[in-house]
Amino acid sequence: MTTAAQSQTVEVGTRPLGIDEVVAVARHGAGVRIADAAWAAVDRGRAIVDALAGDQVAHYGISTGFGALATRHIPTDLRTRLQSSLIRSHAAGTGAPVETEVVRALMLLRLQTLATGHTGVHRETAAAYVALLEAGITPVVHEYGSLGCSGDLAPLAHCALAVMGEGVVRDREGREMPAAQALAAAGIEPVVPAEKEGLALINGTDGMLGMLCLAVTDLRALLRAADIAAAMSVEGLLGSDDVFAADLQALRPQAGQADSAANLRALLRGSGIRDSHRDPQACTRVQDAYSLRCAPQVAGGARDTAAHAAQVADAELASVVDNPVITDDGRVESNGNFHGAPVAYVLDFLAIVAADVASMSERRTDRFLDKARNNGLPPFLADDPGVDSGHMIAQYSQAAIVSELKRLAAPASVDSIPSSAMQEDHVSMGWSAARKLRRSLDGLTRVLAIEVLTAARGIELRAPLQPSPATGAVVGALRGAGWEGPGPDRWLAPEIETAVRLVASGAVVQVAEQAMGEPLR
């Protein structure tokens, strides 16, 4: 079946791409084309490079070596070999292959820059990137090889190598094969890079930026799921929703906090469990623990951080990153726009956010399992405590993940290892920041899923009291996916994975929104 995203065609070259467009191509297989108006800019840029190609005056990237070897003047008859040699030598990645969606994002973003005409490539070179994306041919790019400065060099070089018909790729079905074989099967002519082109194909922040676009998209969805998990925990633990009142939240006008609190109010609307303890004479607790009461402050701060990261991504998506770059008035100028610092900083910031949201989620789960703090539920939510252990070890899994997320929150961008004989003496490590953020978001997904599963068990143990329509719909979704509800101990890992799939797919958010009759913020 063809999805709406797959039937979409994203046009590059005349305007900045949006985050959603990057995700559509990278993750969902949307089509790609270069805008008709962009071809003239590509031709103009190439004409400028061609005019310099035979010049006896040294021009970086055209008639010199690279990095610390830029002092070497390259004779005219070696300048084409120079470009191919650059790509082959820089395709030096190692480690496990990275995900297909990351490589597709990287290729799309490099294509976007090529199509601006500021890099000086031939139109055939830009067209080859379109052809690979359209054919579902994905170069094999490795985990290690980028320092996040001078661009994501090794990852981009592996892509450029495939465009040359060399190296290894995956086809649409994920099968590895030689690039030459895949290109021939798709009817794609390999590119022979001319002057300047080798450098133009590898000098960009495209890998870290592509991962930032994917991460912003994923985190936005996970923060809605975090509000659902928090609402279920507040409900199941007999917490109060009074603290989420709009007038109280307005006393601290943080935008994300307001949105999260509004979500919590909507999710808990109509809860029979909550209504059962509204009478202040029947409920003697003055205030809830921070993990319940401060949920919108933490999730809201995370929202605001994600919004800032999206602003950085939008600015980078509007950027032309190459060195040297061809200016609008025809100059060929060296610059430092390839430095990944702006992207690296927010990638690290999002890893901090993921760790902290997960940390609060784990604390709510732990409260469900402690008889002294769960307001009348059995220890560990066990059917027969002592014989049964309930969700005791599910919380251990959460705790292990949260501990790992704290380690992953240590910033990569504060590190720098000089390279290229000290010519490149300060680097961003943005690629590394992006790689660890992907692991962080996977961990956050799993932590939230365990909270949702635990809270659902707690809510069902409150029967005959009924949950709100929204939280009840989430419990129903778990039931519909095969969860058996409270009862004697059984193999717990498959239940956790069911919850993980429901959170990761967006199903938890979808069913809650349907029950509410309105979208979450």
SS3 labels along 254-316:
CHHHHHHHHHHHHHHCCCHHHHCCCCCCCCCCCCCCHHHHCHHHHHHHHHHHHHHHHHHHHHH
Torsion over CA: 444, 447, 450, 451 (sign): negative
SS3 142: strand
DSSP state, 329?
T
Indicate which residue of 60, 129, 144, 345 is catalytic.
60
Helix 153-163 to helix 206-236 angle (10° resolution) is 120
What is the distance between the alpha carbons of residues 514 and 470, in angstroms, rounded to a whole number?
Answer: 8
Phi-psi region of 316 (alpha: psi -120 to 50; beta: other; left: phi over 0): alpha
Instruction: Give Cβ neighbours of residue 96 (< 8 Å, ≥ 6 apart).
Output: 142, 143
Q: Could you tell me which of 475, 331, 353 has the C-alpha nearest to residue 409?
A: 353
* Residue 353 near residue 305, CB atoms below 8 Å: yes
Residues making up the chain, counted from first to last = 521
Measured between alpha carbons, how far apart are the two ends of the chain, in Å? 30
What is the distance between the alpha carbons of residues 509 and 502, in angstroms, rounded to a whole number?
Answer: 9
Cis, peptide link before residue 469, omega less than 30° from 0? no
Angle at alpha carbon of residue 504, lines to 235 and 223, rounded to 5°: 55
Long-range pairs, 243-251, Cβ under 8 A, ≥24: 243/287, 243/288, 243/293, 244/268, 244/296, 249/296
The residue to which tokens 């906090």 are assigned: 257
**Max Cα–Cα distance, the chain, nearest Å:** 91
Does residue 345 have an active-site annotation? no
Q: How many CB atoms within 10 Å of residue 268?
A: 23
Q: What residues act catalytically?
A: 60
